[in-house]
C-alpha cells in the first residue's frame, strides 16, 4: 500500500541539499561497485530483480522536497527501469581496472528522472576482462553509508527486512545523564579549526579528485585494543602528515560520524549519525594510535549514543540544528571526514557471488577530504575524495598503506 505521509527532513539532509552548484552532478553521491565474474546481464534483467525489493527500503521510495519553506520527504511511486542504466568503458578507459571504472562512475550524471528519488544502479563493463560490476549510487541526502549497507543487503543479499523505528520513538532515560557531554560534543564538532594549505592551493582547479586503495585484509588492519575506525583514523593522521604536514599545534580536526541506529534497525529516510570531532595527532605510529584511540574511546561510554540521538533529533530546534549542520558540512568545523562501514552479509546477483566491493565516498564542498573504509567479506578498501583538484590525492592510498605498515611494526600502547 502506498503511503502519502510526509516526514520532516533532518537538518543535516537540508544542509547537504543546499551544497550546490557542484563540480559534478553525482559528486554528493555515495557509490559502491559490486564486482562479479562472468557475463553482465541486461538492464531489463537487473531492473526486474530490483523492482520487488525496492519496497523494502524507504530511502529508495522517497524524494526530498520543500514545502512551506521546510524540507520534507515525499513518498513516490518508483519504477526500477528508470533507475538502471549501462556503463561501458571504452577508449583509453577500456581494460584499465577499477580506478578507471570509479572515475567514470563519479562523472556519470545521475540516471534517475528529475524529481525522482536520487539513486541509481549502473551495469558496468569493459574495465577488466571477464568481470562486470553492479554500481549502486545514492545521493548522500537520501542515505548515509550505514544505510547503504542495509540497502545492498536488501537488493543483492538474503537479509530479512529490517525493523523500523519511528523517528520520534524510543526510550529517553538511558541517555539523560549523558546529555551535557553529548551537547558539548556536537557544539565542539562545529567549532572553527585551522585550515590546511591544500584547499587554498587547489581552489582554482575546479575538478573533483578520487583515489582508492587495493584490497587489504581486515585482520591486517586490526590492532590490539583498537576498533577499525580508530586504526583508520590513526593511519589517516599519519598519511596526512606525510602527504601534507600538519601544524605543530595540532589544530587540524576531522569529523568521525557515529551511527545512531540500534542494531538491526533501518530508520525511515536520510542521515542518522552524530558528527564527532577528532584532533589529528602527530608523532610516531604508537603515539598517534594511542592519542587517537584515547580520544575516541570516550565516545563508547554507555548511554552517550542515546544522548546524542536525543540532542540531535528531539531537543535541538531546527534553526539551531541547521546552523550547526552548515558549520560542520561546509568545512568550517573540519577539514576531512573519516568513516568506516561494513557489509555484514555476502552479496550476489542471480547466484553469482560478489567478489569485491569498491567504494567511492561523496566529496563535500568545503571539506579538504573524505576518507572512507568499507569492509566486505574479510577485506577492505579505503577511498579518498576531494571536492576540488586536491594536489596529490592520488598519492594518499600509498601513504595510507605505508602508515599501516609502520603502525603494525610499532608497539602500540594499550587503549583500554
pLDDT digits (tens, 9 = 90+) for 163-222: 666 655 555 666 788 999 999 999 999 888 776 655 454 444 456 778 899 999 999 999
Segment 319-325 shows an average pLDDT of 87
DSSP labels for 9-70? PPHHHHHHHT--S-SSTTTTEEEEEEEEESPPPPHHHHHHHHGGGGGG-GGGSEEEEEETTE
Asked if pLDDT for residue 254 goes beyond 80, the answer is: yes
Segment 254-261 shows an average pLDDT of 89
Choose between 366 and 108: higher pLDDT. Answer: 108
Q: How big, in percent rounded to 5, are the helix, strand and coil portions of the chain?
A: 35, 25, 40
Bond into 21 cis (ω within 30):
yes
Residue range 215-244, pLDDT digits in tens? 999 999 999 889 999 999 999 999 988 887
Q: In the prediction, which pLDDT does 204 show?
A: 47
pTM value?
A: 0.91
Mean pLDDT (the chain) is: 85
Contact predicate 120/83, CB 8 Å: yes
What span, in angstroms and rounded, lies between the C-alpha atoms of 315 and 310?
6
Q: In the prediction, which pLDDT does 2 show?
A: 44
> What pLDDT band is residue 246 in, cutting at 50, 70 and 90?
confident
Backbone angles phi, psi at 112, to 5 degrees: -60, 145
What span, in angstroms and rounded, lies between the C-alpha atoms of 398 and 103?
18
> What pLDDT band is residue 38 in, cutting at 50, 70 and 90?
very high
Residue range 367-414, pLDDT digits in tens? 778 899 999 999 999 999 887 666 678 888 999 999 999 999 986 666
Q: How far is CA 164 from CA 41, 54, 74, 211, 301, in A?
A: 33, 15, 18, 35, 25
Q: In the prediction, which pLDDT does 17 show?
A: 80
- Other Cβ atoms closer than 10 A to 42: 11
Asked if pLDDT for residue 63 goes beyond 60, the answer is: yes
Q: In the prediction, which pLDDT does 5 show?
A: 57
Q: In the prediction, which pLDDT does 376 show?
A: 96
Contact predicate 102/31, CB 8 Å: yes
Contact predicate 25/109, CB 8 Å: yes
Q: Which of 106-110, 122-126, 362-366 has the highest mean pLDDT?
A: 122-126
Residue range 288-304, pLDDT digits in tens? 999 999 999 989 888 89
Amino acid at each position: 500500500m502506498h503511503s502519502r505521509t510526509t516526514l520532516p527532513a533532518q537538518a543535516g539532509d537540508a544542509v547537504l541539499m543546499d551544497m550546490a552548484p557542484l563540480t559534478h552532478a553525482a559528486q554528493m553521491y555515495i557509490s559502491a561497485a559490486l564486482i562479479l565474474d562472468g557475463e553482465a546481464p541486461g538492464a531489463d534483467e537487473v531492473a526486474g530483480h530490483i523492482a520487488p525489493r525496492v519496497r523494502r527500503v524507504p530511502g529508495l521510495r522517497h524524494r526530498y522536497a520543500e514545502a512551506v519553506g521546510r524540507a520534507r520527504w515525499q513518498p513516490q511511486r518508483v519504477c526500477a527501469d528508470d533507475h538502471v542504466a549501462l556503463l561501458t568503458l571504452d577508449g583509453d578507459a577500456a581494460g584499465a581496472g577499477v580506478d578507471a571504472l570509479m572515475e567514470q562512475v563519479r562523472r556519470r550524471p545521475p540516471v534517475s528522472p528529475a524529481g525522482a528519488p536520487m539513486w541509481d544502479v549502473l551495469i558496468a563493463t569493459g574495465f577488466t576482462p571477464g568481470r562486470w560490476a553492479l554500481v549502486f549510487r545514492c545521493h548522500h541526502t537520501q542515505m548515509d553509508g550505514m544505510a547503504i549497507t542495509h540497502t545492498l543487503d536488501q537488493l543483492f543479499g538474503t537479509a530479512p527486512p529490517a525493523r523500523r523505528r519511528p523517528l520520534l520513538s524510543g526510550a529517553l532515560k538511558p541517555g539523560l545523564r549523558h546529555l551535557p557531554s553529548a551537547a558539548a560534543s556536537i557544539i565542539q564538532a562545529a567549532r572553527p579549526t585551522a585550515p590546511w594549505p591544500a584547499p587554498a592551493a587547489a581552489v582554482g582547479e575546479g575538478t573533483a579528485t578520487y583515489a582508492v586503495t587495493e584490497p587489504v585484509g581486515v585482520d591486517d588492519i586490526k590492532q590490539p585494543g583498537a576498533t577499525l575506525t580508530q586504526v583508520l583514523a590513526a593511519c589517516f593522521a599519519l598519511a596526512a602528515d606525510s602527504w601534507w604536514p600538519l601544524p605543530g599545534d595540532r589544530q587540524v580536526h576531522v569529523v568521525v560520524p557515529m551511527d545512531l541506529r540500534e542494531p538491526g534497525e533501518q530508520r525511515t529516510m536520510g542521515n542518522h549519525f552524530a558528527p564527532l570531532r577528532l584532533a589529528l595527532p602527530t608523532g610516531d605510529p604508537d603515539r598517534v594510535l594511542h592519542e587517537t584511540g584515547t580520544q575516541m574511546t570516550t565516545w563508547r561510554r554507555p548511554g552517550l549514543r542515546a544522548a546524542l540521538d536525543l540532542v540531535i533529533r528531539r531537543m535541538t530546534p531546527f534553526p539551531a540544528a541547521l546552523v550547526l549542520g552548515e558549520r560542520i558540512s561546509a568545512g568550517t568545523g573540519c577539514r576531512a571526514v573519516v568513516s568506516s562501514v561494513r557489509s555484514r552479509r555476502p552479496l550476489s546477483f542471480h547466484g553469482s557471488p560478489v567478489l569485491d566491493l569498491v567504494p567511492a565516498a561523496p566529496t563535500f564542498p568545503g571539506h579538504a577530504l573524505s576518507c572512507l573504509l568499507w569492509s566486505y567479506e574479510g577485506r577492505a578498501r579505503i577511498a579518498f575524495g576531494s571536492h576540488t583538484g586536491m594536489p596529490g590525492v592520488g598519492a594518499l592510498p600509498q601513504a595510507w598503506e605505508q602508515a599501516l605498515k609502520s603502525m603494525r611494526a610499532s608497539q602500540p600502547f594499550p587503549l583500554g
